[in-house]
Amino acid sequence: QVQLVESGGGLVQAGGSLRLSCAASGRTSGYVMGWFRQAPGKEREFVASISWSGSGTRYADSVKGRFTISRDNGKNTVYLQLNSLKPEDTAVYYCARGPNIYAATGGYDYWGQGTQVTVSS
């Protein structure tokens, strides 16, 4: 059984930064962790993923160079650093556990409740 709890969202001006955290209970060892987001009226989309070791990462083109995913396995926590934020980044951000860094959304088996990120122009 796995529980994931996101935190760190909030309201920020365009160009600003946030750091999101996802605290896990239960097993994440050996698993990929990913971040996704969903804006009102849109499909949930992939943002970033990271392997268990941290040596493998993957980013959506829309966030590459601006966002950084990392994890601290000792704390069973994954992070997403969001820099140079744009209004189009506004969404609910979710973390999830998955099988590999290339998995589609449907391949992730546990999801958090989400944290709201709002970027004002």
Closest CA to 14 of 84, 105, 66, 77: 84
Q: What percent of the chain has pLDDT over 90?
A: 96
Q: What is the pLDDT of residues 75-105, one digit of tens each?
A: 999 999 999 999 999 999 999 999 999 999 9
Cα gap 114→121, rounded to integer Å: 23
SS3 106: helix
Cα gap 81→102, rounded to integer Å: 20
Per-residue model confidence (pLDDT) at position 27: 86
